[in-house]
A and B are shown apart, each in its own frame.
Chain A
Amino acid sequence: MPLAYFDHNATTPLDERVVAAMLPYFREHYGNPSSRHEYGREARRAVDTAREQVAQAVGAHPSQVLFCSGGSEANNLAIKGGTAYLSPAQVVVSAIEHPCVAKPARELQERGWTCRTVAVSPHGEISTDDLKSALESPTGLVCAMLANNETGVVQDISGLSEIAQERGALLHTDAVQALGKIKIDFAALGVDSLSISAHKAYGPKGVGALVVGRRVDLKAQISGAGHEKGLRAGTENVPGIVGFGMACELAVRQLADYENRIGALRDEFERELSALGATIFGSSARRLANTSFFAFPRIEGETLVMALDNVGYAVASGAACSSGTASATLLAMGVDNQLGRGAVRVSLGRDTTGAQVGGLLRALQNEVARLRGLSAMKV
């Protein structure tokens, strides 16, 4: 069994309180929420409660929360569904979006839209100048993620939304990595839609939500028997939704502690990393407290990741979804391709201890030294 899990941005274990909340809905309270009898009504109440919990966690109204099967679906729904009733125009995407935003945005080109990418600074922040210049063309939708899954860089979304609104464009933000790590306030962000996913916040895989504001005229992408006010058909994943609700409630409760405690651990970790000669990507931008994306010169990220796995540390080289390919985010930040290939992502979690971080540091030192063919450095 591995010693320590440092890949929380890929997925998280379920909080035991989330598991406890979900279990009754598999075996005892198994009704279909659309059934009119008590089994169904009870399931419906559970979904309604969860909807309130999710809404509260992101500063939205329950009627704005649409449940679906995860972050990928929520992003697809926002982009394809949010533009379906608009005349084809331009869709603007930042250069660092997750593929489940970038690809649907590109797909809009099949419908006569043009797709324009907005650059980021070397620190990983979306360029407001480039955004303004992009918005000189009539734009229907802008996509800018709240927190990047690789670098952890957090964008000034409310600033970007002012710019988008001024030009009459909708703004969608992928907040999947932000839930449970920073405060999310749907109204304050000024966005038109926002996507979240349970399994990045100690909830179950297979469930997420799209939070939608008034200005969006959304067209359902999954048609059927009218669920979610006709916007997303399919029997509700009751246990998953219940788990998501509980995860959201817990996420909000621990936010302050998360930013302080985890941030301190991560910062200490990075001080040691820098002393070892690593480059840390996005370090001078505002970042999620748990994420450290770095590279050692002349050491392949994949190799270092495998080496760390061999000694019991689970980390990642870039996004889980695209393991094995070069990081588009780093290239967009102007990072040299050679250095970029060395990228390793370490993402701490709520249960990460100082001892585990210490162990990871020692392992890194040893593996880096070994890979460089040097004798092990004194710890």
Chain B
Amino acid sequence: MVKTPVYLDYSATTPVDPRVAEKMIPYLVEKFGNPASRSHPFGWAAEEAVEQAREQVAALVNADPKEIVWTSGATESNNLAIKGAAHFYSGKGKHLVTMLTEHKAVLDTMRHLESEGFEVTYLAPESNGLVNPETFKAALRPDTILASVMLVNNEIGVIQDIETLGDICRGKGVLFHVDAAQGTGKVAIDLRKLKVDLMSFSAHKTYGPKGIGALYVQRKPRVRLEAQMHGGGHERGMRSGTLATHQIVGMGEAFRIAREEMVTENARIRALRDRLYAGLSKIEEVHLNGDLESRVPHNLNMSFNFVEGESLIMAVRDLAVSSGSACTSASLEPSYVLRALGRSDELAHSSIRFTIGRFTTEDEVDFAIDLMTRNIGRLREMSPLWDMFKEGIDLSTVKWAAH
């Protein structure tokens, strides 16, 4: 028996791990001091907890704790990295490079910079979702100051070759920012090896609380940023504002668990995802979106042909899944990520993102397979397009009459 709706939307957000919640609660209750209060044990205890968490975050990504700046989330980290670097280095040039498939937190920030007179090149991925390193290299100009490419895509889960892209950027003297919000705890990240200058982290995608994140700011060679929030000088002046001790403790613990359990957890999750994929692949006319190999084990994004998107979403109400990224699911636009892969509007509309996580069970996966199979069958029975397809009519040759 499974509890419905079955949660298969871990890329939208994750429950806080019980161990994380347990660590946080003392800092919500007794140990409530302001970490900036220098004059009493309430403040000192809070500061100590903050610094320990900073070490835990740094340890997951093999960075120096001094390179970790606390923010209110990955959206803020992305803003701080991109705007902060663009403004600081605008004397060197005003061109930036990114991908069409980035999260809106990056794309909207890039658009904001465009309105300020910066120029941005948006690269398209190959049909598997990965950017071609040669294409990337060719886009970098003498006046390019920053490139931003996400480590793991939130919709299709593909993993970009950050190591190669980083080498290219370093060779051309371009700063490299990586949005790693979807990557922590899923992909090994070694910032001593990767030529990455700035990296954004989110807690709530890795079983930590919402409302807290971090930004890695490299010290060797040193990267400078123009602060976006001014005030009491917190975080060495890079980000002012009282530090939320309980949030930070939560993020630290979440990242500690991620470091210790990633390998075993990934194996278990990969098996579950592959089981789901095998089950859904038995349905006719389904397509996987994004590369299967260079992909996190948690993500399965599939399009179900000849099924209308909205009715599909309503039919699978007992599954908490996503069609398109959570943040933009309020609009009825087809996923811009899937469009960038070359998917037609129809296929993009009739796609579902399943993302598995730490608490997903085999029963839940089997429930999902069964529910999808039944509902796809039912919806196709009602679909005239499906009938035509079954009769062998090539739908691309049909002249549709307008009403």
Asked if B34 and A320 make an inter-chain contact with CB atoms under 8 angstroms apart, the answer reads yes
The reply to whether the CB of B283 lies closer than 8 angstroms to some CB of chain A is: no
The reply to whether the CB of A367 lies closer than 8 angstroms to some CB of chain B is: no
Contacts of A104 in B (CB 8 A): 230-231
Asked if B72 and A237 make an inter-chain contact with CB atoms under 8 angstroms apart, the answer reads yes
The reply to whether the CB of B335 lies closer than 8 angstroms to some CB of chain A is: no
Asked if B75 and A72 make an inter-chain contact with CB atoms under 8 angstroms apart, the answer reads no
Asked if B12 and A22 make an inter-chain contact with CB atoms under 8 angstroms apart, the answer reads no
Interface stretch (choices A58-66, A131-139, A218-226): A218-226
The reply to whether the CB of B294 lies closer than 8 angstroms to some CB of chain A is: no
CB closest chain-A residue, reference B112: A223
Asked if A11 and B210 make an inter-chain contact with CB atoms under 8 angstroms apart, the answer reads no
A322 → chain B, closest Cβ, in Å?
6
Asked if B229 and A72 make an inter-chain contact with CB atoms under 8 angstroms apart, the answer reads yes
* CA gap between A5 and B39 in the complex, in Å: 11
Contacts A26-B209, A31-B13, A39-B9 known; A221 to B228 CB distance under 8 Å? yes
Asked if A316 and B39 make an inter-chain contact with CB atoms under 8 angstroms apart, the answer reads yes
Contacts A32-B326, A314-B42, A316-B39 known; A75 to B75 CB distance under 8 Å? no
Asked if B12 and A32 make an inter-chain contact with CB atoms under 8 angstroms apart, the answer reads yes
Interface residues on B, range: 35 or more
The reply to whether the CB of A355 lies closer than 8 angstroms to some CB of chain B is: no
* CA gap between A26 and B313 in the complex, in Å: 26
B180 → chain A, closest Cβ, in Å?
16
* CA gap between A31 and B13 in the complex, in Å: 6
Asked if B229 and A73 make an inter-chain contact with CB atoms under 8 angstroms apart, the answer reads yes
* CA gap between A305 and B38 in the complex, in Å: 10
Mark out the residues of chain B between 187 and 221 whose CB falls within 8 Å of any chain A CB in the assembled complex: 202, 204, 209-212
B15, B38, B72, B231 — most chain A CB neighbours (10 Å): B231
Asked if A225 and B108 make an inter-chain contact with CB atoms under 8 angstroms apart, the answer reads yes
Contacts of A22 in B (CB 8 A): 28
Contacts of B232 in A (CB 8 A): 72, 98-100, 319-322
CB closest chain-B residue, reference A200: B242
A36 → chain B, closest Cβ, in Å?
5
CB-defined interface of B1-29 with A at 8 Å, one 1/0 digit per residue?
00001010100111110100100110011
Contact residue among B25, B32, B73, B317 (Cβ-Cβ distance under 8 Å from A37): B317
A96 → chain B, closest Cβ, in Å?
15
* CA gap between A309 and B240 in the complex, in Å: 27
Contact residue among A5, A101, A199, A204 (Cβ-Cβ distance under 8 Å from B42): A5
Contact residue among B14, B34, B245 (Cβ-Cβ distance under 8 Å from A30): B14
Asked if B212 and A37 make an inter-chain contact with CB atoms under 8 angstroms apart, the answer reads no
Residue numbers of B with Cβ under 8 A of A are 5, 7, 9, 12-16, 18, 21, 24-25, 28-30, 32-34, 36-43, 72-76, 78-79, 103-105, 108-109, 111-112, 202, 204, 209-212, 228-234, 240-247, 313, 317, 319-322, 325-330
Residue numbers of A with Cβ under 8 A of B are 1-2, 5, 7, 10-14, 16, 19, 22-23, 26-28, 30-32, 34-40, 68-73, 75-76, 98-101, 103-104, 107, 197, 199, 204-207, 221-227, 233-240, 302, 305-306, 309, 314-317, 319-324
A and B contact pairs by CB, cutoff 8 A, 26 listed: A7-B40, A11-B242, A26-B15, A26-B24, A27-B18, A32-B327, A34-B330, A35-B320, A35-B329, A37-B320, A40-B320, A73-B241, A76-B229, A100-B241, A103-B240, A204-B28, A222-B75, A222-B79, A223-B105, A234-B72, A235-B13, A235-B211, A237-B73, A237-B210, A237-B212, A320-B38
Q: List 18 additional contacts besides A11-B32, A237-B209, A240-B247; criterion CB under 8 Å.
A: A2-B42, A11-B33, A23-B21, A35-B12, A36-B313, A37-B317, A75-B231, A205-B245, A221-B79, A224-B103, A224-B105, A224-B327, A226-B328, A233-B75, A235-B204, A309-B41, A314-B43, A321-B233
